[in-house]
Amino acid sequence: MTRVQLLTDATTQPLRDQVPDGCALVIFGASGDLTRRKLVPALYALAHDGLLPGRFVAVGLARREKSHQVFRDEMRAAVDQFSRLRPLKPEVWDRLAQRLYYVSASFDDAAGYERLRAFLVDADREHGTAGNRIFYLATPPVAYASIVDRLGAAGLVSDAWDGPRGGDATGKGQGWSRIIIEKPFGRDLSTARALNADTHKVFRERQVYRIDHYLGKETVQNILTFRFGNSIFEPLWNRRYVDHVQLLVSEDLGVEGRGEYYDTAGAVRDMVQNHMLQLLSLVAMEPPATFEPDAVRDEKVKVLRAIRPVDLTRAGSVTIRAQYVSGSQGGRKIPTYADEPGVAEGTATETYAALRLEIDNWRWAGVPFYLRTGKALPKRVTEVAIQYRQPPLLLFAHAEHPRHEERDVIEPNRLTLRIQPDEGISLRVGLKPPGPRISLVPARLGFVYRDTFGVDPAEAYERLLLDCMLGDSTLFIRRDEVETAWALVTPVLEAWAAAGRSGLASYPAGSWGPTEADRFIQADGREWVNP
């Protein structure tokens, strides 16, 4: 690939110029993998880059009894293993560890919330956190409503979503309160609405930060800057020039011991309803009037509402679902999904899903959006491929095309946004190679973040935690976004549940999916873009 060279001496800058106000971050589920693998390593990275406020504490809450020091030792081992900034700098860790605490409590124990409240009042006094609090629900979704209710009952939530600074010794009525809720936010439209209603009994909508870590990834954010900051692309970002769009979220692993959870979720709940529809909305949205949080999210919701409901009478031509059977991946044997521990006998849960969606608005009418996701596929990759229409007159149809026997086949231009791994952007064009013959070969122009900027981009959780501390909800999901997304996919899930295993295809682990999916897109005269 031809690389892009920076035309300035720009180097990687901190995530933000601002440093947040002092606050306390309470992590419910502090013994879990998310805390170890993502949250505390993200806090370490923010501390390393000087982006944590000086007046800051992080409080882990979980059922197990342990001391502050034991928790700190466990989290240091986690940072050693999972941080992108290795080797760990002892002086940075020591500064963070002094503000890292642990409270033992079960999620439904009222006395535990009283202990937490007393601890936070002491933290306000000792560390100057001024009653500002963020509650992070890194727990199983079944615990969300109970935790929210208990927080309200214990008086831990300020009425002011971005309230007065300062705070007295009690912390009551002072500071601001925010809550971060992990996906999945509900299992379908009715449960999402119920969870929203339960959450709003205690928190106002502006206090609620529904997190989708994909939105914190650099290339996802770059979709907006790439589109709206470069005049060369935005005029071509519509039905006149775009033939179709493909969104791929591919995982190379099977369920890896998470069969009991995954069998209650499936590919649509796990990936499509959240990550993929968020990517689609960013690719397809209209330019916002400003980059204020609600202006951006207003445009995303308009796209989601404009998606044509899936025609379930034509399910085979607009949706595909499948399960993987035994195969190999990278020299590893992957057993059949139905044989994985925790998976129910006779399961009809999809590990692969493909959907053909259309957006009924002026910009995208007639342009299909193909969404594809699956487990046990050949590569771990997330990318968006925007394929442009062929030129109206194939002037070079007579030329030799080394990759095709047919002389009238010219590979179309394609813009690829790689979300992970190797974050970057590339554009495929046709060029004449050296020599006397007229022929066309595809060439790619583009850049990879690591090569261009000299470092790997920041982890998504670093950006999202910092944004929440700053009160910036642009990259978080609003109530109407989550409900509109569920309204689109819930009828599909209900139809699949009613059909059971009827219509469920299969594919060998390590392949790009079922042959039915190939026929699915070939019926439109198109092919999957496999990285």
Q: What positions carry a catalytic annotation?
A: 275
For residue 433, the 8-state DSSP code is: P
Residues 6+ apart with CB under 8 A from 473: 206, 209, 293, 297, 467
Exposed / middle / buried, residue 300 (Cβ in 10 Å: 0-12, 13-18, 19+): buried
End-to-end CA distance of the chain: 14
Q: In this structure, are residues 116 and 41 in contact, taking their beta carbons and an 8 Å threshold?
A: no
Q: How far apart are CA 43 and CA 83, in angstroms?
A: 10
Q: How far apart are CA 419 and CA 124, in angstroms?
A: 39
Q: How far apart are CA 440 and CA 428, in angstroms?
A: 12
Q: In this structure, are residues 256 and 271 in contact, taking their beta carbons and an 8 Å threshold?
A: no
Q: What angle do CA 126, 135, 114 make, to 5 degrees?
A: 65
For 29-174, strand residue ranges (E) read 56-62, 100-104, 133-137
HSE-CB of 9 using CA atoms within 13 angstroms: 0
Return the closest-CA partner of residue 191 out of 497, 106, 212, 183.
183
Position 484, amino acid: T
Q: How far apart are CA 284 and CA 278, in angstroms?
A: 10
Q: How far apart are CA 134 and CA 410, in angstroms?
A: 54
Query: Distances in Å between the alpha carbon of 467 and those of 85, 128, 314, 441?
Result: 20, 20, 42, 44
